Amino acid sequence: MKNKILILGGSSDIGIEVIKKLSKKNYKISAHYSKNKKSLINFKGLKLINLDINKVNEKNCYKIIQKYFNYDYDCLINLVGYIDNKGFENFDLKNITKSLRINTLFPLIIQQKIILGMKKRKYGRIINGSSIGVKFGGGKNTFNYSFAKHCMEFIPNSYKDWAKSNILINNIRIGVTNTKIHNNIKKNLSMKKRLNLIPAKRMAEPNEIANYITYLISEKNTYMTGQTITVSGGE
């Protein structure tokens, strides 16, 4: 059984729901987190990786990857998400570079290394969490985030040939979800208007998103690759 899983952004609301589902099965899970350790400590057998990606740069990147990660993971779930509330009119080189470094480049380099082991074992599953903002060009305050996630979506479409080594890579484009980012939804008039644009007229719950992620890394997915699956209530 292929059961070694790395989750980047494991302490996110969606990450926690994914861990809940996977921990019920015979998976060996490594969960990366930056600050929210408390949400992870009650899971038995979970290997915790504490790393602030914001501190990773071109000088220390490969040393950090070698220190904190190994290359024998069967599955990688990338749920890293950094939002700086910058729109197109107020982004600059510094803040958009930071967003790209955290949301795109670091997860990309980790995938580059892990793929080597997957090719040797002729098995691998990779899921990259993206955003519905990519579809709409980013919201008023999420241009940097959506731009970075758009770059992340480039990966599976460009490396479909990994499928010949039984490595399947897909994106989950996640719609508005009931996470900490949106925990003031009922008090926020603009977000109420945002919900009205969704055909389902509600946010997704984190466990709903987790259902799709766990399916894509499961033994049930033997053929789907190179796809961006939008889970957004109809948007």
Could you read off the pLDDT of 176-235 as tens digits, one per residue? Answer: 999 987 664 455 657 788 889 999 999 999 999 999 999 999 989 999 999 999 999 999
- What pLDDT is attached to residue 124? 96
pLDDT for 85: 82
Q: pLDDT value at position 58?
A: 85
Element at 40 (helix H, strand E): none
Residue 226, both tokens: 């190179």
Minimum mean pLDDT among 113-117, 147-151, 156-160: which range? 156-160
| Residue from 199, 143, 153, 155 nearest 176 by CA | 199
What was the pLDDT predicted at 122? 95
How far apart are alpha carbons 19 and 24 in whole angstroms?
A: 9
**How many domains does the chain divide into?**
1
Among residues 162, 156, 128, 142, the alpha carbon closest in space to that of 90 is found at: 142
Question: Helix axis angle, 13-22 relative to 206-217, nearest 10°?
Answer: 50
What is the pLDDT, as a whole number, of residue 70? 82
Whichever domain contains 41, its CATH number is 3.40.50.720
pLDDT of residue 156: 73
The secondary structure element, H or E, covering residue 52 is: none
**Mean pLDDT of the chain, nearest integer:** 90
Q: How many CB atoms lie within 10 A of CB 46?
A: 18
Tokens coding 43? 């899971």
- β-bridge mates for residue 172, sequence order: 129, 229
Residues 83-117: tens digit of each pLDDT: 888 888 888 999 999 999 999 999 999 999 999 99
CA separation for the pair 17, 206 (Å, rounded) = 6
Q: Which of 45-54, 63-72, 100-109, 160-169 has the lowest mean pLDDT?
A: 63-72
Q: How sure is the predictor about 52, in pLDDT bands with cuts at 50, 70 and 90?
A: very high
Higher pLDDT, 48 or 187: 48
Take residue 5 and report the two structure tokens written for it. Answer: 């899983």
Mean pLDDT in residue range 38-60: 91
With 90 as the cut, is the pLDDT of residue 149 above it?
yes
CA 58 – CA 101 distance, rounded (Å): 9
pLDDT, residue 185, reads 47
129 closest CA partner among 7, 3, 28? 7
pTM of the model: 0.94
Structural domain for 69, as ranges: 4-231
| Rounded percentage of the chain residues whose pLDDT exceeds 70 | 96
